[in-house]
């Protein structure tokens, strides 16, 4: 078995399923991406379905701590006494609670299962499969392959393999760029926790792929070994500690869904789950140090949209990034570079600068990326605040009654001098708050803003007080950015982006950032000039 990458390395091809029409096969840029394959044995994950509803789980949790009468349960949960009594009787019929309102052994076991992280899994049996480690970042791709799906190849004119695709009666040969992992050492075999994390992410990606959505780039803290039952970790093993070098087939594509098309390109996920932004970022990173791959991307984009700057792909990207960093420093001063939010802010500005160069029709993909990144900036900003002012326990501030929860959110905002709480934040429930308050869930903007509001009202040192004093319409500004980003993410083919609205969204995002981080803010002259020109 070969232990290095070369023309004789096996090539694997799983189901390639783009999120939109990728155009004709010769319009795509086909890639053979290297990976280290490991054969492993792990528990077979399956989605866990809830056996009790939210109200039953809440009552069961309270009774586990103390035996309370229906009147006290109703008061604690903000529901009617008769409803509380009905829930208790249902739990007794299911034998989760006994006649003295004490939680039974079956009820305790059920609570332990239900209190696993949302979307948790249970293991039923063992499965043998393969996991794949990327040579550059040493991470496992979120996929457990039941087998190695080899694709037939034949030697090409330059000695590198060409893919033989199509049917037996109608085959066709496809050239592909074979990316070599220069300087990447053979990594260590994955441990049990790595394999389980890959399995968990596999399940989440499969759920999203069912809708063929673009992957959400969520900031997520993966569950570590400490959160896993020891029996589950002990059942995971690596059958062959020596890795198998393989190439995974993918392609780059520009969607052909609209009349004007899109200027942005996507990387098709190896395993049939739409477009993979993580893979695209990795390809761009590798291209910065590999002139051959950079030329391949440049030729692909130039052939399809003729949108590459004269100096080439890498030079154009570097120029946009440099200009964006200068613009960011002028707008929010050098102080912004001390914060994690600086990276998505620079990405937002670089995409906006590129969109200006592309022109009205061709810039649709970049315009959409700008608006979606504005929302990501605010999500990252509130996560940074949560690192200093933790949100643990804040979900308990809300009631199971939506009306009471809305009143509490409005009262918190009024106490801080905020003029209005938009519906986006009022509609947040306890489950959504718990997903961000526990630190292991997603950081979606609506729940994290509501959680921060409830946390800040209890601490006058929280920066939200100072920001509210300077701008009472702060939540309205945040909601405006979230609304524009949501519309951009779900745009139709007929949608047209308003350059003035995009500039307003960028400036609003940076103003909110300056208010919450207490750093100076000077609106960029470039965007002000653009607005004036549009008005003329």
Q: How does pLDDT run across 100-137, given as a tens digit for each residue?
A: 888 888 888 777 666 554 444 444 456 788 999 999 98
Q: Which residue has the tokens 């300077």?
A: 470
Give bridge partners of residue 153 from the DSSP assignment.
163
Q: To 5 degrees, how large is the angle CA 225–CA 246–CA 41? A: 35
Torsion of CA 32, 36, 42, 47, to 10 degrees: -30
Q: What is the pLDDT of residues 268-314, one digit of tens each?
A: 999 988 888 889 999 988 988 888 898 888 888 777 754 444 445 55
Instruction: Give the residue extent of every domain in the chain.
Output: 11-47+134-305, 54-108, 313-535
DSSP, residue by residue, 26-77? GGSEEEEEEEEEEEEEEEEEEEPPPSS-HHHHHHHHHHHH----HHHHHHHH
Q: Where are the beta strands (DSSP E) in 431-498?
A: none
Q: Find the farthest-apart pair of alpha carbons in the chain and give their distance in angstroms, rounded.
A: 82
Q: Are strands 244-253 and 11-12 parallel, antiparallel or unpaired?
A: parallel
Q: Cite the DSSP H helix spans in 81-191.
A: 81-93, 105-114
- Phi, psi values for residue 331, rounded to 5°: -80, -45
Neighbours of 282 (CB within 10 A): 17
As to burial, measured by CB atoms within 10 angstroms (0-12 exposed, 13-18 middle, 19+ buried), residue 444 is middle
- Give the Cα separation of 28 and 139 in Å (integer): 26
218: left (phi over 0), alpha (psi -120 to 50) or beta: beta
Helix (H), strand (E) at residue 253: strand 244-253
Integer CA distances (angstroms), 174 to 13, 20, 26, 166, 520, in order: 13, 21, 8, 10, 54
Give bridge partners of residue 155 from the DSSP assignment.
161
Counting as low any pLDDT under 50, the low residues of the chain are 1-2, 47-49, 117-124, 211-227, 258-262, 306-311, 361-362, 440-441, 492-494, 529-536
- Give the Cα separation of 294 and 160 in Å (integer): 19
- Chain-centroid distance, C-alpha 122: 23
pLDDT for the residue numbered 310? 42
Q: Which two tokens stand for residue 476?
A: 């309205």
Nearest one of 323, 321, 301 to 312, comparing CA atoms: 301
pTM score of the predicted model: 0.47
pLDDT for the residue numbered 307? 43
Neighbours of 309 (CB within 10 A): 16
Q: Which residues contact 392 (CB under 8 A, 6 or more apart)?
A: 437, 438, 439
pLDDT for the residue numbered 86? 86
- Give the Cα separation of 447 and 436 in Å (integer): 7
Cβ contact 7:178 at 8 Å: yes
Cβ contact 39:238 at 8 Å: yes
Q: Which residue has the tokens 């810039």?
A: 363
Q: What is the pLDDT of residues 444-486, one digit of tens each?
A: 888 889 989 998 998 899 999 999 999 999 999 999 998 888 8
- Give the Cα separation of 298 and 303 in Å (integer): 8
């Amino acid at each position: 078995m070969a232990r290095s990458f070369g023309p004789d390395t096996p090539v694997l091809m799983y189901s390639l399923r783009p999120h939109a029409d990728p155009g004709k096969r010769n319009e795509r840029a086909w890639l053979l991406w290297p990976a280290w394959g490991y054969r492993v044995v792990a528990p077979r994950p399956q989605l866990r379905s809830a056996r009790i509803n939210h109200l039953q789980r809440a009552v069961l949790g309270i009774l586990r701590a103390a035996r309370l009468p229906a009147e006290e349960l109703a008061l604690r949960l903000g529901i009617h006494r008769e409803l509380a009594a009905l829930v208790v009787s249902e739990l007794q019929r299911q034998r989760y609670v006994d006649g003295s309102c004490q939680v039974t052994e079956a009820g305790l076991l059920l609570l332990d299962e239900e209190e696993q992280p949302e979307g948790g899994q249970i293991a039923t049996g063992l499965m043998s499969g393969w996991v794949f480690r990327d040579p550059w970042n040493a991470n496992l791709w979120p996929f457990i392959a039941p087998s190695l799906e080899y694709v037939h190849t034949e030697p090409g004119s330059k000695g590198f393999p060409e893919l033989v695709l199509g049917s037996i009666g109608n085959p066709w040969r496809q050239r592909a760029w074979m990316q070599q992992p220069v300087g990447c050492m053979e990594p260590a075999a994955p441990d049990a926790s790595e394999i389980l994390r890959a399995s968990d992410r596999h399940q989440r990606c499969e759920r999203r792929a069912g809708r063929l959505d673009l992957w959400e780039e969520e900031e997520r803290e993966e569950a570590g070994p400490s959160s896993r039952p020891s029996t589950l970790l002990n059942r995971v093993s690596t059958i062959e500690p020596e890795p198998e070098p393989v190439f995974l087939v993918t392609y780059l594509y520009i969607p052909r869904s609209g009349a004007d098309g899109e200027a942005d390109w996507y990387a098709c996920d190896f395993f049939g789950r739409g477009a993979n932004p993580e893979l695209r970022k990795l390809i761009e990173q590798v291209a910065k140090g590999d002139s051959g791959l950079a030329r391949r991307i440049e030729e692909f984009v130039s052939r399809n949209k003729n949108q590459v700057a004269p100096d080439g792909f890498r030079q154009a990207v570097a120029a946009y990034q440099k200009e964006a960093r200068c613009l960011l420093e002028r707008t929010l001063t050098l102080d912004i570079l001390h914060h994690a939010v600086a990276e998505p802010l620079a990405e937002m500005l670089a995409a906006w600068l590129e969109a200006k160069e592309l022109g009205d029709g061709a810039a649709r993909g970049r315009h959409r990326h700008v608006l979606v990144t504005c929302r990501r900036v605010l999500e990252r900003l509130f996560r940074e605040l949560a690192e200093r002012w933790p949100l643990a326990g804040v979900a308990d501030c809300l009631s199971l009654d939506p009306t009471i929860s809305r009143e509490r959110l409005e009262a918190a905002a009024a106490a801080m001098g905020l003029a209005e709480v938009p519906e986006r934040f009022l509609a947040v429930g306890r489950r959504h708050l718990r997903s961000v308050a526990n630190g292991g869930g997603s950081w979606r903007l609506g729940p994290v803003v509501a959680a921060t509001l409830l946390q800040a009202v209890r601490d006058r040192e929280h920066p939200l007080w100072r920001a509210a004093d300077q701008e009472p319409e702060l939540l309205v500004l945040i909601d405006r950015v979230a609304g524009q980003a949501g519309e951009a993410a779900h745009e139709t083919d007929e949608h047209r982006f308003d350059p003035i609205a995009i500039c307003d969204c960028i400036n609003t995002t940076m103003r909110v950032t300056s208010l919450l981080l207490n750093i100076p803010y000077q609106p960029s002259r470039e965007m002000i000039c653009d607005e004036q020109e549009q008005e003329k």
